[in-house]
A and B are shown apart, each in its own frame.
Chain A
């Protein structure tokens, strides 16, 4: 079981596929150091083994080393998911000393100008390269993460070579997931079938080229499939997301689903939320499923797919994921690929917490 702690929604970048919600939590409402530490203790007691410290940019929290050392003492495997732009040599050493187990560093491209354009921050790429060196010098194991889309899909081989040169033990190549910001920017991000085939081939080639030195994990895109992925390993089964202000969610996009009230760790114990909260029960297991899923032999493999995608594409969070070929809304997914504009429209970037991007 794992817990993803969105320590803050503040971030100096503004990736057009960011998994943060369209309406970001304000800094003033963020959980305090003591509240996070108490939560980590509760999580460990509940059986959580892996803790992902994320954001926003988690390094925007000054108390990050204190949070890491508390989590490590609670026995949690502690992974920092960061853009790296704030990671100096001193801070890397401080985090290593605090007991950080692993660092996942996101890149947007192998080319600096393209990377900075996609992430919406000038100079970010150069700082990421330095961050990787600082992490390795401090002895922190490194994963390089690349979110792929039509505007960087040709860069997989170059990013793999870059990651290997940076000393990453693992590369994660993940296609964009289309809800929130990703959905807003879908026409600018979605690859076509030929681009996807080339990307998959590039991943295979990189696996062979770096075998034995760097592991490559590949998260395939939903829109070209006809069976959905087991989103979060099933609703409320082995994953918990905590927002900066302390709301507990079964998946980071769950708040897009209308009619569900998510509990706050400020009001209730984590164990009680996990066990009893109605929002965590709403799509847990197979009871809630439409008949087609309930009688399908994949029901406990994919758990009916992603609820947020069902909402976004079928207008109903309790429908089967329209990525499934058995869905009567599957044509919506096909149409999104078929109707993709030939040239990507400009990105709509996220803004500082509290505001929604003006668009354009």
Chain B
């Protein structure tokens, strides 16, 4: 997403950022070289990956691990290493 840089007249004073959590609009997914993939068959929804993902990139919907937030996943592989059933694997990302 290309961000439009604003004039000093149109930004809050003091450097305050008024929209909490707006880093979700910043894409860190481009940092990846390896990408995690989920095998839903193997996943037992233990949510270990959710707990240990540093980038809040494990998507949980209705108590089920459904995949990854690829906009923000940096491909660190931690989810792979904590998954007890080997339901997640890393593969080289084609860009």
Bound pair (A, B): no
